[in-house]
Structure 1
Amino acid sequence: MLRLAELGFDAPTALLARYGLALQRVDGGAPIPGSFWGDEEAGIIGTTVYARADTPLHSLLHEACHLIVMPPDRRLDVHTNATDSIEEEDATCYLQIVLADAFPGVGRQRLMADMDAWGYTFRLGSTRAWFENDAAEARTFLTLRGLI
């Protein structure tokens, strides 16, 4: 599982900034503010994504994409739990895969493998099968909003 310690914080910080988001580095061992899953998983509060060096890239991208897919006027009110919408959750998963291509040496194939290893579950059994064969609504959602 690719963690920020291997990738560094510069590229994710730049990517998030393109969407008006900030990445806040959290000291090792400290609790991550706004983390839904706890442990090393990324957190969100407002327009800030929180992560440590041991945070998996898929987790950082997932939480950031929650903020990216939601209307900007809702972002400031977000704390820990971004949505209960299946439509937004699917769009978030799809976009995090697409955005993985922004990182040299990472790409969507690596991210999908990490998502499977972490335990994401999809009807077709794998992240790749969902992305390639069952994500039309997510693609449409993102296309209509100009995000892909």
Structure 2
Amino acid sequence: MAPGDTPAAPAQAGAVVVSGADVLRLADIGFEAPTALLAGYGLVLETVPGGQPIPGSYWGECEAGLVGTTVYARADTPVHSLLHEACHLIVMPPERRALVHTDATDSVAEEDATCCLQILLADRLPGVGSQRLMADMDAWGYTFRLGSARAWFENDAEDARAFLAARALP
């Protein structure tokens, strides 16, 4: 992957956030499995009541938010958003976690690893899976040099996998 050709989060250059996109949301899968998954990494999933602003949300609207080791989400939060924000915390050194508020990105390598890990962890959530998560990432507006999350993950994510392996992450 060349510099500047990294997976991009929604609303970056050329991407369009589609808040009404038909993607899996926490209301579709419930909070129990995501809460357990995040707890396994020392993170807390805090439920925000419907209609209330999500603390630490970089993108606003229904997107998940971060404050320290807590990931905030509502029932209408897309699963891909919850996983993406949680994976930012998982891939970063523990000493940085406590300092995070809203913006977790530290580097291109960390962003790539975050995208890769969210795809891998999707298989640990019943009713989600990596294929559905990648389709949701594309529908939401993530942009990848090879045109889709799946093409990037299958053909161009070696650096992201190496980043994860160096940290003993799946």
TM-score band, normalised by shorter chain: over 0.9
Output one character per residue of 1:15-69: Cα deviation in whole Å (capped at 9) or x when no partner. Answer: 0000000000000000000000000000000000000000000000000000000
Once the two structures are superposed, the pairs formed by residues 16-95 of structure 1 within 5 Å of their partners are 16-95=38-117
Q: In structure 1, what residue type is equivalent to 2:166?
A: L
Q: CA deviation at 1:105?
A: 2.2
Output one character per residue of 1:55-84: Cα deviation in whole Å (capped at 9) or x when no partner. Answer: 000000000000000000000000000014
CA RMSD, 1 decimal: 0.5
1:138 aligns with 2:160: yes
1:129 aligns with 2:167: no
SS in 2 for 1:147: coil
Residue 136 of structure 2 is matched in structure 1 by 114
Identity of aligned residues (%): 76
Once the two structures are superposed, the pairs formed by residues 5-20 of structure 1 within 5 Å of their partners are 5-20=27-42
Q: In structure 2, what residue type is equivalent to 1:16?
A: L
Tell me if structure 1 keeps the 8 A contact 2:120–2:130: yes
Q: In structure 2, what residue type is equivalent to 1:122?
A: F
- Cα distance between partner residues in 1 of 2:132 and 2:163: 24
- Cα distance between partner residues in 1 of 2:59 and 2:50: 17
Structure 2: stretches of 5+ with no match in the other structure:
1-22
Q: CA deviation at 1:98?
A: 0.2
Give the ranges of 4+ consecutive aligned residues of structure 1 lying more than 4 Å apart after TM superposition: none
Q: In structure 2, what residue type is equivalent to 1:144?
A: A
Q: CA deviation at 1:133?
A: 0.4
Q: In structure 2, what residue type is equivalent to 1:97?
A: I
Tell me if structure 1 keeps the 8 A contact 2:33–2:126: no
Task: State the TM-score, normalized to the length of structure 1.
Answer: 0.99
SS in 2 for 1:37: coil
Aligned length: 148
Q: CA deviation at 1:104?
A: 1.9
Q: CA deviation at 1:103?
A: 1.3
- Cα distance between partner residues in 1 of 2:125 and 2:91: 20
